[in-house]
Amino acid sequence: MTPPPEPDTVQVVWDPVFNRYDFGRWHPMAPVRLDLTARLCGALGLFSAPGVRVVSARPADDDLLRTVHDPEYVRAVQAASADPRDAQEVFGLGTEDDPAFPGMHEAAARIVGGSVDLGRAVLDGRALHGVNFCGGMHHAKPGCASGFCVYNDAAAAVRAALDDGAQRVAYVDLDCHHGDGTEAVFWDEPRVLTISVHESGTTLFPGTGFADELGGPGALGSAVNLALPAGTRDAGWLRAVHSVVPQLVSAFAPDLLVTQHGCDTHALDPLGHLVLSLDAQRVAAASMHALAHSAAGGRWLALGGGGYEVVDVVPRTWAHLVAEAAHRPLEPSTPLPPEWRAHVEESTGREAPRSMTDGASGAFQDWSSGYDPDDPVDRAVLATRRAAFPLHGLDPDFD
Ligand SMILES: [Zn+2]
Ligand SMILES: [Zn+2]
C-alpha cells in the first residue's frame, strides 16, 4: 500500500514525453523550452525537494476533450494527427501557427490530461498546489486550434473542477496575449471568472480583450480584460495586475484559483511588446500564490503558457514558479547550476544566464496610493475597473 500523500504536497507535471508537442523546426513553440525548464528545476533540486511530487500524465480521452471542444473538432485533430495532409484550415489546423504533425492529438490531449488531473488533485486535497508548465494553451477554442494551442487544458481543468463540485472557479491569465480561448469557453458561465491582463489587441494577436468585453448576458462581469499599452514595463504591469486581480478574485471567493503564467511578457520575448523582467514575473507568481491562500483556501493550479525566449527567459521564469508553489522561493541571486549552464551551451550554442534574476527590483506602487488619469497604464486600469468592478460590488476608483 502506498502511504497517503503529505498534505503539503505540490504536484508538478513533467515527463520528457511532453517534448512531443512539436510543430517543427522553425516554429516558436519549440519543445526545448519545456526541456530546459525541467532540467533547470532538476538541477536546482526542486524536483527532488521534500513535498514535491513529479507526475506524468496520460492523454485526456475524447469525453474529457468534449467537455470544452466540439466533437467534430476533436475528430478533425485526430485525422490531422494520423495524417497531417488531412489537416483542415476551417478547424485552424495545417496553418502557419498550428501546422499538423504526427501524434498531435495525443501530445495535445496529454497536456489536458496533466492539467485536469492536477486540478482534481488540488480540489480534493491530494495536493496543496499543482504546476503544469507544459499547459496554459489558452487560445484553443471550442471549435478550432489557434495561436499554437490545439486543446485548451486550462478550460478543461476549470470545467472538470465545476463537474467535480466546485461552486466557483477563478482563472487569471498573465500571458502577453489575451486568453481568448479560455474566455470563450466560459463566456456565458457565471460560475467562472476569467481575468486576462495582456498587451492590447491593437498591437498584438489575437486582437481582442478590451475592457468592455465582460461576458455573456447571463454572466456579465464573469470576463474581465485589462489591455495594456505596448512598451509597459515592470512597475506598470505589476501595478496593473495588483489593481485588478486580487480585488476581483477576493470578491468572487472561488473554490479553486487557476493561473496562467505565459512569460512572453518578458522584454526579450520575440513575439510580444511588453518589457518585463524575470523579477516582475517572479513577484506576480508570488502574488498569485498568496492570493490562492487568502481567497481560494490555498487551492492553486498554476500553468505555463506562451514564452518564446527559450534560454534566458522560459526556464528561469517557470523554475521560479515551481519553487514558489513548492514553498521554496528562490533568492533572485541564486546562481544557475554549472551542469545546467553547460547543457544549455552545448545543446543550443548560446551562453546561458548566470543567476535567477535580471537585476530588477520588482517594486511597484499600489492603486491605493492614488492614480494619474494621464498615465496610459493607469488609464487602461481605470477602464477595466470602471467596466468590471461595479458588477462585483467593488469601487472602481478607490481601493
Ligand atoms: Zn502568449
Ligand atoms: Zn502555498
Predicted confidence band at 3 (pLDDT cuts at 50, 70, 90)?
low
In the chain, the amino acid numbered 266 is: H
User: Distance of CA 68 to CAs 43, 54, 95, 151, 173, Å?
Assistant: 36, 26, 22, 9, 18
Please check whether residue 309 is in contact with residue 315, taking contact to mean a CB–CB distance below 8 angstroms. no
Please check whether residue 73 is in contact with residue 142, taking contact to mean a CB–CB distance below 8 angstroms. yes
Give the closest residue to 40 by CA, choosing from 360, 359, 279, 352. 352
Ligand 2 centroid, distance to 298 Cα (angstroms): 6
So what's the pLDDT on residue 339? 98
pLDDT in tens, 48-79: 999 999 999 999 999 999 999 999 999 999 99
**Ordered strands of the 169-173 beta sheet:** 52-55, 10-13, 129-132, 300-303, 256-260, 169-173, 192-199, 223-228
The pLDDT of 255-270, averaged and rounded, is: 98
Ion ligand 1 neighbours, Cβ < 5 Å: 175-177, 262, 264, 306
So what's the pLDDT on residue 4? 52
User: Distance of CA 24 to CAs 147, 188, 304, Å?
Assistant: 15, 36, 20
pLDDT in tens, 119-156: 999 999 999 999 999 999 999 999 999 999 999 999 99
So what's the pLDDT on residue 40? 98
Which ligand is closest in space to the CA of residue 206?
1
pLDDT in tens, 162-217: 999 999 999 999 999 999 999 999 999 999 999 999 999 999 999 999 999 999 99
So what's the pLDDT on residue 191? 98
The rounded distance, in Å, linking the Cα atoms of 257 and 171 is 6
So what's the pLDDT on residue 144? 98
Ligand 1 centroid, distance to 38 Cα (angstroms): 20
Is residue 7 scored above 60 in pLDDT? Answer: no
Which ligand is closest in space to the CA of residue 299?
2
Predicted confidence band at 258 (pLDDT cuts at 50, 70, 90)?
very high
Which ligand is closest in space to the CA of residue 139?
1
The residues annotated with a catalytic role in the active site are 139
User: Distance of CA 60 to CAs 30, 123, 148, 183, Å?
Assistant: 22, 18, 19, 21
User: Distance of CA 364 to CAs 190, 233, 360, 374, 396, Å?
Assistant: 32, 10, 11, 18, 20
Ligand 2 centroid, distance to 329 Cα (angstroms): 11
So what's the pLDDT on residue 2? 57
Which ligand is closest in space to the CA of residue 265?
1
Please check whether residue 228 is in contact with residue 236, taking contact to mean a CB–CB distance below 8 angstroms. yes
Is residue 19 scored above 80 in pLDDT? Answer: yes
Q: Please state whether the predicted TM-score (pTM) of the whole model is above 0.95.
A: yes
Ligand 1 centroid, distance to 308 Cα (angstroms): 9
Ligand 1 centroid, distance to 393 Cα (angstroms): 31
Three-class secondary structure assignment of the chain: CCCCCCCCCEEEECCHHHHHCCCCCCCCCCCHHHHHHHHHHHHCCCCCCCCEEEECCCCCCHHHHCCCCCHHHHHHHHHHHHCHHHCCHHHCCCCCCCCCCCCHHHHHHHHHHHHHHHHHHHHCCCCCEEEECCCCCCCCECCECECCECCCHHHHHHHHHHHCCCCCEEEEECCCCCCHHHHHHCCCCCCEEEEEEEECCCCCCCCCCCCCCCCCHHHCCCEEEEEECCCCEHHHHHHHHHHHHHHHHHHHCCCEEEEECCCCCECCCCCCCCEECHHHHHHHHHHHHHHHHHHCCCCEEEECCCCCCCCCCHHHHHHHHHHHHCCCCCCCCCECCHHHHHHHHHHHCCCCCCECCCCCCCCCCCHHHCCCCCCHHHHHHHHHHHHHHHHHCCCCCCC
Ligand 2 centroid, distance to 207 Cα (angstroms): 35
The rounded distance, in Å, linking the Cα atoms of 186 and 218 is 11
Ligand 2 centroid, distance to 288 Cα (angstroms): 10
Please check whether residue 168 is in contact with residue 192, taking contact to mean a CB–CB distance below 8 angstroms. yes
Question: Which residue, chain included where needed, has cell 506562451?
Answer: 306
So what's the pLDDT on residue 26? 92
